[in-house]
């Protein structure tokens, strides 16, 4: 069992989870920690991820979707547009995917890296859900279980979701294409 999964199991065994845990890619497989948390999710996953190309995480999300977990993913418009791997991974996932940019329009980034699971835990930190973050970079995640902080992340996700654009299904025309614009 990976160190990260061991920490999660140890917390559950004590009967109470800490309000926050920090993990570093140098000593933990963060992908395993995320997979374990996604596997335990029963109701919803709302993820705002700057970059996404991890096949492992995509499989874990697809497994959750097949268990009828509601999934909404928001990613950076320019990173999504630049990454054929991301487009392929998310094109047939079956859950809702939207794109957006930063506060200053097209020349800025939606740079968040967080996911809210069942409204009970937030995964956040420097870690992009990518192969490079797992295998090459020094990265971190923090798991938050404090209700007021989780609510703050929920509000941020909902605000971004409301101003984002749905990713077209392959072969579908966007609204601007349909209207000739």
Catalytically annotated residues: 111, 113, 118
Give the other-Cβ count within 10 Å of 170's Cβ: 9
Answer yes or no: are the C-beta atoms of 121 and 39 closer than 8 Å: no
Give one DSSP letter per residue of 118-177, joined into a string: TTTEEEEES--BSHHHHHTS--EEEEE--HHHHHHHHHHHHHHHHT-EEPPPTTPPPHHH
Q: Write out the two tokens for 44.
A: 């919803």
**Long-range CB pairs of 55-62, under 8 A, 24+ apart, other chains included:** 55/89, 55/131, 56/31, 56/134, 57/31, 57/129, 58/89, 58/90, 58/93, 60/34, 60/35, 61/93, 61/95, 62/93, 62/94
Q: Write out the two tokens for 3.
A: 């160190």
């Amino acid at each position: 069992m990976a160190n990260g999964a061991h920490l999660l199991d140890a917390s559950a065994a004590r009967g109470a989870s800490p309000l926050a845990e920090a993990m570093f890619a140098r000593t933990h497989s963060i992908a395993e920690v995320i997979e374990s948390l996604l596997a335990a999710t029963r109701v919803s996953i709302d993820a705002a991820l700057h970059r996404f190309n991890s096949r492992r995480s995509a499989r874990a999300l697809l497994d959750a979707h097949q268990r009828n977990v509601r999934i909404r993913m928001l990613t950076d418009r320019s990173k999504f547009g630049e990454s054929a791997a991301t487009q392929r991974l998310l094109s047939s996932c079956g859950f809702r995917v939207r794109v957006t940019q930063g506060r200053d329009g097209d020349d800025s980034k939606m740079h968040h890296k967080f996911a809210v699971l069942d409204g009970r835990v937030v995964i956040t930190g420097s870690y992009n859900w990518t192969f490079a973050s797992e295998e090459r970079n020094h990265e971190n995640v923090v798991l938050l279980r404090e209700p007021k902080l989780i609510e703050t992340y929920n509000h941020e996700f909902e605000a971004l979701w409301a101003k984002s654009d749905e990713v077209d299904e392959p072969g579908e025309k966007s609204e601007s294409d349909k209207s000739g614009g």
